[in-house]
Chains A and B, each alone.
Chain A
Amino acid sequence: MIENRPGLKFFCHAMVLLAVLTVAFPVWIAFVASTHTAARMIEVPLPLWPGTELLENYRTVLVEGVAGASTAPVARMMFNSLVMALSVALGKIIISLLSAFAIVYFRFPLRMLFFWMIFITLMLPVEVRIFPTYKVMSDLHMINTYAGLTLPLIASATATFLFRQFFLTIPDEMMEAARMDGASALRFFWDVVVPLSRTNMAALFVILFIYGWNQYLWPLLITTDESMYTAVIGIKRMIPGGDASVDWNLVMAAAMLAMLPPALVVIVMQKWFVKGLVEQEK
């Protein structure tokens, strides 16, 4: 830096460290809770340091689920979440790539109409069309199916715009050279556009995986069968109205498990994640 101010530097480090700890605090408490017995979890004050039941608790929730709560084992729910997150992320990427390619590289009648129809989906989040959408789903017999869980979420204006924006930066000559080489539109798409979009796809994948994994309202509507619950729904269902009979150690173990995959994706793919997020501003 320009000037040397040890005091200010110390202050900054202290602030950031404090924030790191504050941000981590709830997760630490959850982790601690997930390592104790159910009996310890009803004694006030609750523990601040890990206990001895870690393996037992995690084994219980993964394989058996939480006693008393009407949910499937967490392993099953995590599988459902994984299916949902992967289908949503990949589905969005694929259909957005295709439609952005059509909109950028062809000039066909109705092109702008299609463009605006895709754009409008931005203005129609699930929250504003809950019941009619539910009606459509039940008419199509998609309640409690993976298709019902994922299909309506894979339309994406954001991803389409992102790819469109990126395609516009590919020099026109690239496509002309490919035409000279004799490549058809699909061949050009597959041999040139898709490989060039890899970075963007990776960045989007991180964001969309998290988006899919963390969906709440939609699976809440679409899944009534506990074997179809996602992890996020399951955790909520483990806490009934009255709090007397909650096995907090097991609920927290389940919560830790539900947080793990998306957090890992963010940390492992941090570079893509940051790029993908910051790109949204453009």
Chain B
Amino acid sequence: MAAEKRAYFPVGWLPYALVAPQLAITLVFFMWPASQAIWQSLLIQDAFGLNVEFVGLLNFRELFADPYYINSFKVTAIFSVTMTVAALGVALVLAACCDYLIRGVQVYQTLLIWPYAVAPVVAAVLWSFIFNPTLGILTYALHTWFGVTWNHMLNGNQALTLIIIAAGWKQISYNFLFFLAGMQAIPKSLIEAAAIDGAGPFRRFMTVVLPLISPTTFFLLVVNIVYAFFDTFGVIDATTQGGPGQATQVLVYKVFKDGFMGGDLGGSAAQSVVLMVIVMGLTVVQFRYIERKVKY
């Protein structure tokens, strides 16, 4: 971040005016609410806000003693990791196939990237329609052909599977684009050198392509986990709403539910603070990676 211009315009009021809109929004809608969340996480108040008491870290202690909250952590972890691995894996194979083909890549790319444009909620509505316990096409197919009864309203594992599919489906296109761009940025001469050394297509992929796109893979790993953590609120809200039981109660959904429906402001604020710490961690990881990349 050290890059600087050699010369500058003379400073007057102008630079302040230029950053003012961004700063005003940042202060009013980001800094102030975030500091409020931190402050509230140290308080206990009743639902009407009549009785407020400073309790220090009590909310946090209660939070981590709460088996539901611990469960929510577990659900989030399983969900994020499975979704990320699945979405990355599928995208990697597709990108490798497209990279190997020369003709048709542009067409395939167009046919594969549009799901990025679909809102997570809409994706969730589509998939929950397909897996609708009474009407769904796939529910019907699973029952008729495999004898499997699908009901994500009752079966926790099926509910988790559904949200992984619904959230992962649209992420494939994003990952695919990055992988393909990464692979196509590898100089042709390198691949040809490996071929002359006697490496076949599969071998080349494993020993040349995969190591060379590892920065992209790492970047996508972080982005996908952030997506799984924060952008899947709509997916859950439109499909399982955290249920059945606590089976799909991921962290962001629990904050919302506990605050809006449970009325536990202090507890919900404490959950917000925990989430903030997680985002900060992920952001730091991401930026350290960028710094490292810039250096080499």
Q: Do A and B come from one complex?
A: yes
Residue B68, interface by CB 8 Å: no
CA distance A141 to B57 in the complex (A): 33
Task: Tell me, yes or no, whether A63 is within 8 Å of chain B by CB.
Answer: no
Chain B residues positioned under 8 Å from A151 (CB to CB): 25, 29
Set of chain B residues within 8 Å of A55, measured between Cβ atoms: none
- Cβ of A127 and Cβ of B255 under 8 Å apart? yes
Q: With an 8 A cutoff between CB atoms, is A45 at the interface?
A: yes
Q: Does B121 contact A (CB under 8 A)?
A: yes
Verify B275–A127 contact, CB threshold 8 A: yes
Chain A residue numbers with a CB within 8 Å of B269 are 131-132
Residues of A1-24 contacting chain B, CB below 8 A:
1-3, 5, 8-9, 11-13, 15-16, 19-20, 23-24
CB pair A132–B134 under 8 Å, yes or no, is no
Contact of B119 among A16, A24, A188, A258 (CB under 8 A): A258
Chain B residues in 8 Å Cβ range of A155: 22, 25-26, 29-30
Cβ 8 A contact of A124, one of B14, B178, B276: B276
Number of interface residues of A (CB under 8 A): 101
- Complex Cα distance, B117 from A233, in Å, reads 16
- The answer to whether A124 and B18 touch across the interface, beta carbons within 8 angstroms, is no
Does A176 have its Cβ within 8 Å of any Cβ on chain B?
yes
Main secondary structure of the interface of B (DSSP, over half): helix
Say yes or no for B129: interface residue by CB 8 A criterion.
Answer: yes
* Pick from B26, B113, B256, B272: contact of A270, CB under 8 Å: B113
In the complex with contacts A27-B126, A151-B29, A255-B126, A130-B255 CB distance below 8 A? yes
Is A39 on the interface with B (CB-CB < 8 A)? no
Smallest CB gap from A183: residue in B: B9
| Docked complex Cα distance between A16 and B108 (Å) | 7
A270 vs B177: C-alpha distance in the bound complex, in angstroms?
11
| B residues contacting the other copy or chain, number (CB 8 A) | 99
Is the pair B130, A26 in contact by a Cβ cutoff of 8 Å? yes
B residues 256-279 touching A (CB-CB < 8 Å): 256, 259, 265, 268-269, 272-273, 275-276, 279
Known contacts: A19-B112, A23-B173, A128-B37. The answer to whether A172 contacts B5 by CB under 8 A is yes
Chain A residue nearest in CB terms to B144: A45
In the complex, what residues of B have CB within 8 A of residue A122's CB? 279, 283
Known contacts: A15-B94, A155-B29, A186-B14. The answer to whether A248 contacts B201 by CB under 8 A is no
Asked if residues B129 and A33 are in contact (CB atoms below 8 Å), the reply is yes
Is B16 interfacial (CB-CB < 8 Å)? yes
A16 / chain B contacts, CB cutoff of 8 Å: 94, 97-98, 101, 108, 112
Q: Which of A3, A13, A252, A282 has the most CB of B within 10 A?
A: A13
Known contacts: A111-B15, A127-B233. The answer to whether A20 contacts B108 by CB under 8 A is: yes
Please measure, in the bound complex, the distance between the C-alpha atom of A184 and the C-alpha atom of B6, giving whole angstroms.
17
Produce 1/0 per residue, B1-31, CB < 8 A to A.
0010111110100111011011101111111
Within B151-176, the residues touching A (CB, 8 Å) are 169, 172-174
Residues of A contacting B75 with CB < 8 Å? none
- The answer to whether A128 touches B178 (Cβ under 8 A) is no
User: In the complex, which of the residues B6, B15, B178 has the most CB atoms of chain A within 10 Å of its own CB atom?
Assistant: B15
Q: Which of A208-228 contact B (CB under 8 A)?
A: 210, 213-214, 216-217, 220
Selected from B22, B102, B256, the residue in CB contact (under 8 A) with A1 is B102
Residues of B within 8 A of A (CB): 3, 5-9, 11, 14-16, 18-19, 21-23, 25-34, 36-37, 40, 90, 93-94, 97-98, 100-102, 104, 108-123, 125-127, 129-130, 132, 134-137, 140, 169, 172-174, 177-178, 181, 191-192, 195, 200-201, 215-216, 219, 230, 233-234, 237-238, 252, 255-256, 259, 265, 268-269, 272-273, 275-276, 279-280, 283, 290
A positions within 8 Å CB-CB of B: 1-3, 5, 8-9, 11-13, 15-16, 19-20, 23-27, 29-30, 33, 41-42, 44-46, 48, 95-96, 98-99, 101-108, 111, 114, 117-118, 120-125, 127-133, 135-136, 151-152, 154-156, 160, 168, 172, 175-176, 179, 185-186, 188, 210, 213-214, 216-217, 220, 232, 235-236, 239, 243, 248, 251-252, 255, 258-259, 262-263, 265-267, 270, 273-274, 277-278, 281-282
In the A-B complex, the 10 residue pairs with the smallest Cβ-Cβ separation, listed nearest first, are: A132-B33, A132-B36, A214-B119, A216-B234, A262-B117, A102-B18, A152-B29, A12-B97, A106-B15, A102-B15
